[in-house]
């Protein structure tokens, strides 16, 4: 997959959900069960179009290793706490998906037998082929990485056609839309142009993995109704980053 025109033919995708996407904006609660339920309904709508979906949950609504480390904590330990935070989000999403009647498995990169299967690539592949949603929890299982990198890694090893990066922003802009009201959203942009123009899409490890493995990234706003399905079907929402 390398061009935006291919968007309608995705067979398997990895949906990257930032932790913040599960929090009510402005709320002191880390996670909103109502928002998780809404996201689950969105995923079900997308599944009904026939695409296979793996989900990578972030954990930033609870904890970020780099922030804790900047405040004096040992970085590796702080990152393990962050990875455990992603498991909370994964379990909440699994519960909401099952309430919608969606078959769903959580696989954790840090073994946690009581609540999740361990991450086993071949098993995850089988689950996806059988139309289960597989939620990949606990990041890569290693500190010093992000869940964006996890999404790039899982997309590469699971043979996904694209990463759907669901955020609170509706795409990639030529400048910061919060600071510049004239900022223009890209409908499509190449990996090369992102680098040349220093556009922030993902951290550099995640971005490089996607670029090297020719995995398009679709950045879109998870807030809009039906947006996962719209982004999958090639509607003009968000931004597609591709090889060109």
Nearest residue to the partner ligand UDP, using Cβ:
58
User: How many residues belong to the site for ligand UDP (CB under 6 A)?
Assistant: 23
Tell me if 59 contacts ligand UDP by CB under 6 A: yes
Which residues between 162 and 201 bind ligand UDP (CB under 6 A)? none
Tell me if 136 contacts ligand UDP by CB under 6 A: no
Flag whether 60 is marked binding: yes
- Residue 125 C-alpha from the chain's centroid: 18
Which residues between 198 and 227 bind ligand UDP (CB under 6 A)? none
Of the candidates 160, 159, 189, 191, the residue with the CA atom closest to the CA atom of residue 174? 189
Of the candidates 20, 6, 97, the residue with the CA atom closest to the CA atom of residue 55? 97
Which residues between 11 and 40 bind ligand UDP (CB under 6 A)? 18-20
Flag whether 19 is marked binding: yes
Q: Which is nearer to ligand UDP, 133 or 202 (CB)?
A: 202
Position among 40, 47, 53, 83 found at the interface with ligand UDP (CB under 6 A): 83
Tell me if 107 contacts ligand UDP by CB under 6 A: no
Q: Which is nearer to ligand UDP, 36 or 188 (CB)?
A: 36
Flag whether 234 is marked binding: no
Q: What are phi and psi of 15, to 5 degrees?
A: -95, 120
- In which region does residue 137 sit, left (phi positive, over 0), alpha (psi from -120 to 50) or beta (all else)? beta
Q: How far apart are CA 147 and CA 131, in angstroms?
A: 23
Cα–Cα distances in angstroms (integers) from residue 153 to residues 177, 206, 207, 232, in the given order: 29, 8, 11, 20
Q: Which is nearer to ligand UDP, 111 or 187 (CB)?
A: 111
Q: How far apart are CA 198 and CA 213, in angstroms?
A: 20
Tell me if 60 contacts ligand UDP by CB under 6 A: yes
Copy the structure tokens of residue 32: 């909103």
Residues forming contacts to ligand UDP in the complex (CB under 6 A) are 18-20, 58-60, 64-66, 79, 82-83, 85-86, 139-140, 142-143, 145-148, 150
């Amino acid at each position: 997959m390398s061009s935006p025109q291919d968007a309608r033919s995705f067979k398997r995708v990895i949906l990257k959900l930032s932790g913040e996407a599960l929090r009510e904006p402005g709320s002191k609660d880390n996670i909103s069960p109502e928002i998780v339920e809404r996201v689950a309904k969105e995923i079900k709508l997308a599944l009904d179009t026939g695409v296979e979906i793996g989900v990578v949950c972030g954990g930033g609504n609870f904890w970020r290793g780099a922030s804790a480390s900047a405040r004096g904590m040992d970085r590796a330990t702080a990152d393990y706490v962050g990875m455990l935070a992603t498991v909370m989000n994964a379990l909440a999403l699994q519960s909401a998906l099952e309430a919608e009647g969606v078959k769903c498995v959580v696989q954790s990169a840090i073994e946690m037998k009581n609540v999740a299967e361990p991450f086993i690539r071949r098993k995850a592949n089988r689950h996806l082929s059988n139309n289960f949603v597989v939620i990949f929890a606990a990041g890569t299982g290693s500190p010093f990485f992000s869940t964006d990198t996890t999404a790039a890694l899982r997309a590469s090893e699971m043979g996904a056609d694209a990463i759907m990066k669901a955020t609170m922003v509706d795409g990639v802009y030529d400048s910061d839309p919060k600071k510049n009201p004239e900022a223009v959203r890209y409908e499509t942009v190449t990996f090369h142009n992102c680098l040349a123009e220093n556009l922030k899409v993902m951290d550099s490890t995640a971005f490089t993995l996607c670029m090297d493995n020719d995995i398009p990234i679709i950045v879109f706003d998870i807030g809009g109704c039906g947006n996962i399905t719209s982004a999958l079907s090639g509607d003009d929402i968000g931004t597609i980053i591709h090889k060109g």
